[in-house]
Structures are given as C-alpha cells and as structure tokens.
Structure 1
Amino acid sequence: MKSIAINKEMQAALTPSAVLQDLLDGNTRFTGGKIQAVDNSALVNQTTTGQYPKAVVLSCIDSRVPVETVLDQAIGDIFVARVAGNFENVDILGSMEYSCKVAGSKLVLVLGHEACGAVKAACDGVELGNITALLNNIMPAVHMSAEEVEGEANSTNKAFVAATVANNVKLTIQRIREKSPILKEMEDNGEIQIVGGVYNLHSGKVEML
C-alpha cells in the first residue's frame, strides 16, 4: 500500500528517465487491473506542509482520461494541467515552469488521446462561441496532417484524426520548447525531459511518441 508521499529528498534523487518509467509502469498496472492500494489519509496528512511532485502532465479535459487514475498516481505525485485539446498557452506554460523550476518536477508529459473531441472539431472547422478560439490552437496539427494522410481531411477519416492527435502532441512539445526558455534550458541541461504520448481509449494504454 502506498502510504508515503514524495518528499524533497526523494524528488531530488529522481531522474527524468526514471520518472517517465514510473508513469509507464503505473499505466501498465492500470491496464492490468493491478492499481496500487493507497492510504489517502496518510498522504493528505503528509502533504499539508508542502508538495514535491515528480512530473507535470498536460492532458485533455476528456472525462474518459482521468490522468492520475490511468497512470496510477496518488496524492502529491504529479501536477496535472487540463484543457480541451491538450495544447499550451501562457497560463499553462507558466504552470509548467512553476512545476519544474520552482517545485522541482523532472518530467513534462503532453498526453493526447484517441478520438479527441476537440481535435475532431478542429478537423471539421467547427465555429461556436469561445470554442472557435480554442480550436485555433489545434489547427496547425490539422494542416500538418492534411499533408500526410490520404482521404478526406475531416473527422470521418479515422486515420486523419489519429494523425492530427499525434501531430498536435508533437507540435505542442515543439512550442513548449520555443515559448519557454526556462523549460528549454532545463531540458538542455538534463534536469527535465519533455515528452509526449497518446492514450488509447480502447486499451487504456499510453503509447509514447
């Protein structure tokens, strides 16, 4: 049973590659039906005076992808930023910089997911209220996929949607490095890794890109 929260010393001893492997091991437990038992009361008590998460995950808001659950992480283990379409913006970049530079996290994981509704809407050029501006952030991935995938460039083409989901993750990582000199420098120095993956709704498995 997990009853000990990550402390400063434990966090400092972690490497980015070890953190990534830990998250993937957690996903393997999730898909295998072997999620760890957790003493939430103990973790709550231990984290009242501070937090030392090992990673920050940028994911979609999709209700079918509860990040802590699918990566089998507990209270105090990871930061999670969520927005439909899992793209970066100034606020999320600032949150990531806080997570890594200030709070000591060792990994940035951009996590897309299969059949993302925001990606599908972007593929179809949906325009509706504030959703229109949100989807503009995903359009570079749509244009990229249109040059790579044969067939119709809309949500009826499953291969096109899958490519756009993956491209959106890749382009988000690229923009994180371009827009955040802090995170770029930390990655260049080996202090953190910035990686991406896609969650499969059918299997529950995270596939790294």
Structure 2
Amino acid sequence: MRTLTKEAQANLSPDRALEILKEGNERFVNNLKANRNLLQQVNETSTGQFPFAAILSCIDSRTSAELIFDQGLGDIFSIRIAGNILNDDILGSMEFACKVAGSKLVLVLGHTRCGAIIGACNHVEMGKLTGLLSKVKPALEVDASLPQEQRTGNNPDYVQAVAENNVHLTMKRIRQESSILAEMERNGQIRIVGGMYEVETGQVNFYDYE
C-alpha cells in the first residue's frame, strides 16, 4: 500500500475517501492487512503529510481508527476524546485537516458500550469529567415515551440510542458551528459522515446520509 502523495490526495473524491475507509474496515473484520512498509512510510512522510480523512473518535482503547480502518502513517488525522464530543479546538483541528491539509472526509465515529456515554446516562459528576460529560447531555433526549427510570446506563438499548444520537448531533453541530466545513461540504469538496463501531465484532456501520 503506497503512502499518500499530494497528487493522490487531490485526485480523491469525498465518496472515494469514504469507500477507502469501508474497504479498510472490511479487511480489519476479516483479519486481513494491507501490505505496508511502515518504516518506508516514516521516511516518505518526513517532509509532509496528505491524509484523506479526519476521524473524531473516542479515547476507548478498543477504537484506534488506524487499526479498525487498516490505515498507515500519513493516511488519516485521528482526533480522540472521551465520548467523541465536540468543542472549538476539535472543530479547529477539523478545519485545519480539510481546508489547509486537504482531507476529503470528516467522520464522527461512536462506538457500542461507550463508558463516557454510560457515564452521561448516569449523570456522573467527577472533577473535570463533569464538564466533558455535560457535552453529551443533549443526546440523552432520544425517546420521550421511555420511562425516566429506564433512562440510565443500566439500560443497554438506551445507552446505544444515546450513542447514536450523540453522533448525529455532533455531525449537525459541525455543520452549524463551522462555516468553513459547511461551505466545503456544500461545494462537494468534503463529506461529513457518521459511524458506529461495534466493539463486539469490529464492524463499523456508517451513517452516510444527512
């Protein structure tokens, strides 16, 4: 697998960038790996990088984007924070990735059995974690018909619904809060998509609509 060059990155469409991630996840699930010389990629990226995607994912030790999408050095920008939450610094990083460095895709990646989502569902308060989990609170309102006593981290279905809602709301916020990324998407220069990683199987289910 070749290291991405500036020319190769420029010739990629946003749709093709998404397909590359899907193909990489399929290899991962089937316990296959693209043939790469990582030391060679160290040398080839020493003077520049041309990643094709920026991925916002959780810090969970099971959700390394480079591994689950079978990507090498210089292929993706990996932004990791508990609960794959969004803030201005992360938005700025995405703007750099796309507007300055030429990435064609922004992926918001949640995952099943997320500890941060469970903590938010349980209204955990602990030091600086309190403020971080508060950013998940808008996603807690998913099913008005669900009794309050079932809206906890002990209800796996509720936790999963919140995790999925958190991804969709984050995608919406990216478009609302970054005029740069919103304009690039309108112009067809990038795509903003979502996904859910299943820690049980290694499979990523993409939300490539919206």
| Shorter-chain TM band | over 0.9
- Alpha carbons 1:29, 1:35 under 8 Å: kept: yes
How far the C-alpha of 1:130 sits from its partner, in A, is: 0.3
Question: Any idea what SS the aligned residue of 2:82 has?
Answer: coil
Q: What is the TM-score with the length of structure 1 in the denominator? A: 0.96
**Counterpart position of 1:186:** 184
How far the C-alpha of 1:149 sits from its partner, in A, is: 4.6
- Counterparts of 1:113-152 in structure 2, within 5 Å, are 113-142=111-140, 144-147=141-144, 149=146, 152=150
1:204 aligned residue (202, 205, 209)? 202
1:21 aligns with 2:35: no
- Alpha carbons 1:122, 1:138 under 8 Å: kept: yes
Q: What is the TM-score with the length of structure 2 in the denominator? A: 0.96
How far the C-alpha of 1:148 sits from its partner, in A, is: 6.0
Write out the 4+ residue segments of structure 1 that deviate beyond 3 Å after TM superposition.
148-151
- Alpha carbons 1:197, 1:206 under 8 Å: kept: yes
**Counterpart position of 2:107:** 109
How far the C-alpha of 1:5 sits from its partner, in A, is: 1.0
Question: Any idea what SS the aligned residue of 1:196 has?
Answer: strand
Whole-Å separation in 2 of the counterparts to 1:134 and 1:83: 9
1:15-56 deviation per Cα after TM superposition (whole angstroms, max 9, x unaligned): 001000100100000000111122011101110110100000
Question: Any idea what SS the aligned residue of 1:96 has?
Answer: helix
- Alpha carbons 1:149, 1:159 under 8 Å: kept: no
Structure 1 residues 37-46 or 92-101, which shifts more?
37-46
Question: Any idea what SS the aligned residue of 2:27 has?
Answer: helix
The amino acid across from 1:88 in the alignment is L
How far the C-alpha of 1:78 sits from its partner, in A, is: 0.3
Aligned sequence identity (%): 49
How far the C-alpha of 1:101 sits from its partner, in A, is: 0.1
1:113-152 deviation per Cα after TM superposition (whole angstroms, max 9, x unaligned): 001000000000000000000001000001x224265660
Q: Structure 1 unaligned runs (5+)? A: none
- Alpha carbons 1:19, 1:106 under 8 Å: kept: yes
Whole-Å separation in 2 of the counterparts to 1:172 and 1:13: 28
Q: Structure 2 unaligned runs (5+)? A: none
Whole-Å separation in 2 of the counterparts to 1:157 and 1:145: 13
Cα RMSD after superposing both structures: 1.0
- Alpha carbons 1:177, 1:184 under 8 Å: kept: yes
